[in-house]
Amino acid sequence: MPPVDCAAPSADATARKHKISRAKRRIYLSTLYVGMTEHELIATIHQALESNPDLKVSILTDALRGTREAPKASCASLLSSLLRDFGPDRVEICMSHTPNLTGVRKAVIPKRINEGWGLQHMKLYCVDDEIIMSGANLSDDYFTNRQDRYHVFKSAEIADYYGGIYRAVADLSYRVVVDEKDSSGFRLVWPTTNVQPAPLDDPKAYIASATKSLSSLLKPQATTPGEKRGNTSIYPVCQFTPLLNPDTSNELPALTSILRALSTSALRSSRWTFTAGYFNMTPSFRDLLLASNAASGTVVTASPWANGFYGSKGVTGMLPAAYTFMSRSFIDTVAKRGLSSSITLKEWRRGTVNEPEGWTYHAKGLWITLPGEMQPSVSLIGSSNYTKRSHSLDLEANAVIVTRDEDLQKRLGEEEKALQDYAKPVGREEFMKTERRVGLHVRLSMWFVTLVGGAL
């Protein structure tokens, strides 16, 4: 059996807590943030630590997102309870801070939108020798009414490889320490054992140190090109652009190579499905998809009413309209290139966000079915949204799955199909409707974010 399994959201939440409760040696969890209501998850980790004195736990989140609500209850204050009960010898809480947001820029950019300048975005959930890769954060809505993807890799080699990636980024991150005198109940400190200096003290020197730490992990090596078991190979790919100079990230190069291969005569007439909850592909990525000479290509994205920012206050409330503008631009480009008969854009909607039975859409990935085959044999799983942000500002961890295993191909095909159960094709006429028109203020906001160094 191949070392990977596809899981449903509710099943994943149950399985993850079950695995955590039985952990023997290690737990490392990398996420953008832990939801402030995840008391059951914290209790499960607490119980596991109590049951096994040899267990050690490390959790990595983003510093901006993890402390945004402070001094009120926040991700950091929730996680600090584990530190308080078990101490830093068994629990560490790490928070990565982008070197792209410092000084005056950090002081003037509002907390609500400062994540547009770069985040720790990896989703790696490892217990002993099994790791779940996903696009989902550790928050209740991802397991109840938010559509995402979850793949379980049952492999010590894969868990160890991503463990090395995790460790390197953790050693480039701040630590949470308990401080009852602080109004937040915690402080962020830069340990002397960390890679020096801290990103807020000297961003350029920090990047230079980070480059030395990460570059060797991203180089192809004879012992870690990917795990092959039977007819399945797993190739880890990561994007660490804000931490590397020169940039030796391998996610974008790998994705580029895969898409370019589709335009060759040998792979012409392949079929592909691409999905991202936030529709903001770069022109170069768009061009690679459209040049693939596919028998059929399908793009699935969230409708405005399934976008996680729908109904948000302030600037972030404009994001669904901004993504609508980008969707319309994509459809226009498809039409201009005469590809409307082979390339389809679908919008996913299941109710309306913030209303009863309303879901959000957060899935991301790629499935490729080769000529003459019925099911996908190539798929990408991980944290990346494949946007300008993903490839220039955020930290991403992903895996390329290449398989000839018929059972796994079947399950990948079922996953690809299931993600389209609530998706409907949209054409240029849809974007002509009054409710889909994008105002000038949205376009100006998009321009301003880019101007000051951020991205959607």
Task: Out of 123, 151, 364, 391, pick the active-site residue.
Answer: 123
Q: Do 68 and 145 touch, CB atoms closer than 8 A? A: no
Pairing between β-strand 174-178 and β-strand 186-189 as defined by DSSP bridges: antiparallel
Q: Which amino acid is at 407?
A: D
| DSSP structural state of residue 341 | T
Among residues 56, 67, 61, the alpha carbon closest in space to that of 27 is found at: 56
Among residues 412, 357, 401, the alpha carbon closest in space to that of 378 is found at: 401
Q: Do 312 and 436 touch, CB atoms closer than 8 A? A: no
Q: Determine whether 128 is an active site residue.
A: yes
Structure tokens at 431: 């974007």
Q: Classify residue 451 by burial, with Cβ atoms within 10 Å: 0-12, 13-18, 19+.
A: exposed
Cα three-residue angle 376-381-382, rounded to 5 degrees: 170
Cα 88 to Cα 73: distance, rounded to the nearest angstrom: 21
Q: Enumerate helices (H) and strands (E) in the chain, giving the number of each.
A: 13, 20
Residues in the chain, overall count: 456
Q: Phi and psi (nearest 5°) for 122? A: -65, 140
The neighbour count for residue 330, using CB atoms within 10 Å, is 19
Q: Which amino acid is at 448?
A: F
Residue 430 DSSP SS3: helix
Residue 313 DSSP SS3: coil
Half-sphere exposure of 329 (CA within 13 A, CB side): 15
Among residues 378, 364, 416, 405, the alpha carbon closest in space to that of 6 is found at: 416
Cα three-residue angle 412-418-419, rounded to 5 degrees: 95
Q: Phi and psi (nearest 5°) for 181? A: -80, -20
Task: Out of 128, 141, 171, 287, pick the active-site residue.
Answer: 128
Task: Out of 19, 121, 151, 388, pick the active-site residue.
Answer: 121
Q: Determine whether 121 is an active site residue.
A: yes
Among residues 449, 455, 395, 456, the alpha carbon closest in space to that of 95 is found at: 395
Q: Do 395 and 119 touch, CB atoms closer than 8 A? A: yes
Q: Do 381 and 136 touch, CB atoms closer than 8 A? A: no
Active site residues per annotation: 121, 123, 128
